[in-house]
Amino acid sequence: MKEIDRRVMMQAGIGLILARAAAGARASAASAPGAKTVGTGPGDFDFLAGEWVISNRRLKDDTSDMWETFEGGATVHRLLGGQASIEELRANGKFLGLGVRVWHPEEQMWADHWTSAANGVVNAPQLGRFIDGAGIFGGEAVDGESERWRGIWDEITPISCRWHQQVSRDAGKSWNEQWIMHWTRVGQ
């Protein structure tokens, strides 16, 4: 795909996300009682801008103990003065999807949207903020299921970070890892 075509796709995706946010998409953010918020909003995702190599460990579909591992990469852009971030995620030379994060100043939280290359659907956002040095985002499945999902950005350094996704099938009483990504900045 030409560079200009990818840029147009990213801009269109951001436009869709901002339109949805303006229409009032709201949900509950994950939070921890008594936790200190250390994120400031705009600029929280600046650490992610750049080119990355990613080691993935993902639970295979419909299993509870069979993991697959694979290498991938990502290109992340800082946009709107740090109020947005867009990520193109790849694995094995194929595009997996597009992550778009937008700061909601009224709610003082981030909306983290995902669009899979497999279906092109912009999923409902996981809303969250940075608390005690970790970006904690949560949401519920939109297909009428009672599953709760959360994604966590942590172990953040200038050259690496970790994202991991967890699922709860008991209203948040217990959480199980589903996907773990170790990000390393290209050239490190």
Of 23-37, 133-147, 174-188, which has the strongest mean pLDDT?
Answer: 174-188
Three-class secondary structure of residue 145 per DSSP: coil
Question: How does pLDDT run across 61-83, given as a tens digit for each residue?
Answer: 777 789 999 999 999 999 999 99
Give me the count of residues in the chain. Answer: 188
pLDDT at res. 27:
31
Distance between CA 160 and CA 151 in Å, rounded?
A: 17
pLDDT at res. 28:
31
What integer is the mean pLDDT of 96-113? Answer: 94
**pLDDT reading at 23 higher than 70:** no
Average pLDDT, the chain: 80
More confident residue, 137 or 29: 137
How would DSSP label each residue in 13-65?
HHHHHHHHHHTT---PPP--TTPPB---STTTTGGG-EEEEEEEEEEPTT-SS
What is the reported pTM? Answer: 0.76
With the CA atoms of 121, 43, 25 and 181 taken in that order, what torsion angle do they form, in degrees rounded to the nearest 10? 40
Lowest mean pLDDT among 42-51, 85-94, 130-139, 144-153: 144-153
Contact status, residue 137 vs residue 152, Cβ threshold 8 Å? yes
Question: How does pLDDT run across 80-95, given as a tens digit for each residue?
Answer: 999 999 999 998 877 7
Handedness of CA 170, 114, 57, 161 (dihedral sign): negative
Contact status, residue 98 vs residue 79, Cβ threshold 8 Å? no
